[in-house]
Structure 1
């Protein structure tokens, strides 16, 4: 099962959109920002040391950055869909 880690008010929406568009089952784990500093919580930093999102986990693979996640999802699950020619 794929898990997508996101942070409120972030650019993770494109990864969620792609998972939905490809019809891939996934779990969404969303974290809230600190209300004062607007930084990621320590629980997210346990997954990505800098608290960056999105982070995708697919089995043993843990992948950060939306561009890399997009490429991975299209390569593994895209079946030649949604990729520019």
Structure 2
């Protein structure tokens, strides 16, 4: 049995807000968010623009724990994690 790798991601919306999630297929998930086909309601008010951060995890459990930790961060802490805060203001 093949183990599925999970990706934690942060997507920047057109209004500058950041969305954090997990998936096994980042390209498919970004398209879902952009096309409003199974994506998060978060993007109903502002379109998903681009993935600004991602990290790989060996299983869903570790990806979910990391997602929860990132969601608790302040906006500034998330921008610091992404790496180029001046590009995302």
User: Which structure: greater helix fraction?
Assistant: 2
> Does the alignment reach a TM-score above 0.5?
no
TM-score (norm 1): 0.29
